[in-house]
Amino acid sequence: MSLINTFKTKKSIKNIISPFLILCTFFVVLLKSSIIYATTTISSSSPSTSSLETANVYFQNSASFLCSVISEESNFEYKKYFTPDFINSVPYEDLIVIFHNLAKKYGRCKQIKISTPDGIHGTFMAITDKEFSLKFSMALQINETASQFLISGLFFKGNLTPSIHFNDLTDLKKSLEKLAGNVSAKIKILNQDDKSKLANDLFSYNSDVKMALGSTFKLYVLGSLADKIKNSELKWNQEFPIKEELKSLPSGVLQNQENGKMLSLLAYARYMISISDNTATDHLINIIGKEYIENNLTSKIDESSNINSFVTSNIPFLTTLEMFKFRALYNNEQAQKYSTSTSLERKMLLSEINSNPLNKQELYKLLQDWNTPKQHNFIEWFSSTNDMCNTMDWLLKKEDNTLLAILSLNTPFIDLEYNSNFEYAGYKGGSEPGVINMTYLLKTKNNKWISFSIGQNNLSENINDDAFSEIVHATLELIGKLVTSTN
């Protein structure tokens, strides 16, 4: 069986809406200049012991080769190391630029550390001469003609070493004060006891301010799905077909799948959280029902803890395709009118938008120039970082191991295999021009559950992804140190 892969590179926020780009939302902050992205369908069969041993050797050799080309002057014979499908998908010049940019940002690779579950696909860490740890996932495919394994999938999963460090929460506050626009952050201990030296609200910075979320809103969809499953209205293994009318624009891959293909709710949810698949999200919203999700927005953790303090601003609850249509068709005056209208009036305006005969290709064209902040103060999914911390607590209290496993599929800046502070990490983030949010659910080795949410909105200019990601990475390191060192 072959491995089926899609590889794309990202060079600007503009490319998020390209018809052929598959981009996982949170990776915008990991490598600003370029991203390797791989979606892999893997054979369910396992290789034999002898072929596994052979594949392990090739995996080691391939990882060593990749280490050698993470430099600012790399060049190599492309077909000697990569499959034809990979070569056809990613031009040699683009791949060289990615390796050069990695080396420029993080340094030349000097050493590798490998974790290979079954030989043909696994992860490895590239340690650079600047002491950064770059994590990659890699897949191999056998070349029957040459009797060797070639690289068929490559996914840069980010740098695991913070480029800045915080000594305390005061350092975090000072860094947040330097960011432009509206900035908000919250760190909350969810299972605190009275004997602890730490407060439940470990850190707050403008944490009750209304903020645009981007794709982090998908946590509300996931929680509503889990509720319907808990109430026996739906089942994780229940299958639903992909429908043309529910297909959205990237990020994601399901918009490219054939209509009628059956997927389980578990698969839709995994796509929605792991690669922020918009088509998966819109299918789930349709299956669950908008009103059900809207009613769930009024949920509370306790009398004083909302999961959303801006419910009326989120009604009607928009699908991703509807949001794209608003961005494409509305000017600022229309967007402002929408935001100041009643819920009933907004539903009527939404009905008008949905009745527009615009097809998706036309929508793509209208969005090609959407590379600067646009109307996110008027039309968005809204919440606060305090609410998002409560939302993670809401999800945790559902006591659904399947839900927690879904949340753990993509956790930027945290790899439990190499992290000594956390034993669980869950995550969802979102971004668009002028908007970014990253929200985590963490469990420390000393059994503390923590939620951390941070966001930045700027109507004047795009987010400085590097500055924001540095703060997030350093904050995660600080949280681990603070909580694990205090009983």
CA distances from 469 to 283, 353, 421, 476 (A): 31, 35, 20, 11
Q: What mean pLDDT is reported for the chain?
A: 86
Per residue in 258-287, pLDDT (tens digit) is: 999 999 999 999 999 999 999 999 999 999
The pLDDT tens digits of the residues spanning 123-153 come to 899 999 999 999 898 888 887 665 688 998 8
State yes or no: pLDDT of 217 exceeds 90.
yes
Domains of the chain: 4-159 (3.10.450), 165-487 (3.40.710.10)
3-state SS string for the chain: CCCEEEEECCCCHHHHHCCCCCCCHHHHHCCCCCCCEEEEECCCCCCCHHHHHHHHHHHHHHHHHHHHHCCCCCCCCHHHHECHHHHHHCCHHHHHHHHHHHHHHHCCEEEEEEECCCCCEEEEEEEECCCCEEEEEEEEEEECCCCEEEEEEEEEEEECCCCCCCCCHHHHHHHHHCCCCEEEEEEEECCCCCCCCCCCEEEEECCCCCEECHHHHHHHHHHHHHHHHHCCCCCCCCEEECCHHHCCCCCCCHHHCCCCCEEEHHHHHHHHHHCCCHHHHHHHHHHHCHHHHHHHCCCEEECCEECCCCHHHHCCCCCHHHHHHHHHHCCHHHHHHHHHCCHHHHHHHHHHHHCCCCCHHHHHHHHCCCCCCCCCCCCCCEECHHHHHHHHHHHHCCCCHHHHHHHCCCCCCCCCCCCCCEEEEEEEEEEECCEEEEEEEEEECCCCEEEEEEEEECCCCCCCHHHHHHHHHHHHHHHHHHHHCCC
Mind listing the pLDDT tens digit for each residue in 432-446?
Answer: 999 999 999 999 998
pLDDT digits (tens, 9 = 90+) for 1-24: 122 222 233 332 222 222 222 223
Q: How far apart are alpha carbons 217 and 437 in whole angstroms? A: 10
Determine phi and psi for 300, rounding to 5 degrees. -130, 150
With CA atoms as reference, report the closest residue to 56 among 12, 101, 130, 118.
118
CA 216, 220, 226, 232 torsion-angle sign = negative
Count of CB atoms situated within 10 Å of the CB of 89: 16
pLDDT at 73: 85
* Residue 180 CA from chain centroid, whole number: 23
**Six-digit token string for 271:** 């796509």
Band of residue 158 on the pLDDT scale cut at 50, 70, 90: confident
What's the CA dihedral at 12, 18, 22, 28 to 10 degrees?
Answer: 20
- Express each pLDDT in 32-64 by its tens digit: 223 343 433 333 344 455 555 666 888 889 999
CB atoms within 10 A of CB 401: 8
- Mean pLDDT for the stretch of residues 146-174: 89
Single pTM value for the model:
0.82
Paired tokens of 192: 């605190």
Q: How many angstroms separate the CA atoms of 316 and 196, rounded?
A: 42
Q: Which percentage of the chain shows pLDDT scores above 90?
A: 68
Q: How far apart are CA 427 and CA 80, in angstroms?
A: 37
Whether 135 contacts 157, CB under 8 Å: yes
For residue 125, the number of C-alpha atoms closer than 13 Å in the C-beta half-sphere is 12
What's the confidence (pLDDT) of residue 119? 59
Q: How confident is the model at residue 196 (pLDDT cuts 50, 70, 90)?
A: low
Amino acid at 129: D
Tokens standing for 37? 């992205």
φ, ψ for residue 441, nearest 5 deg: -120, 120
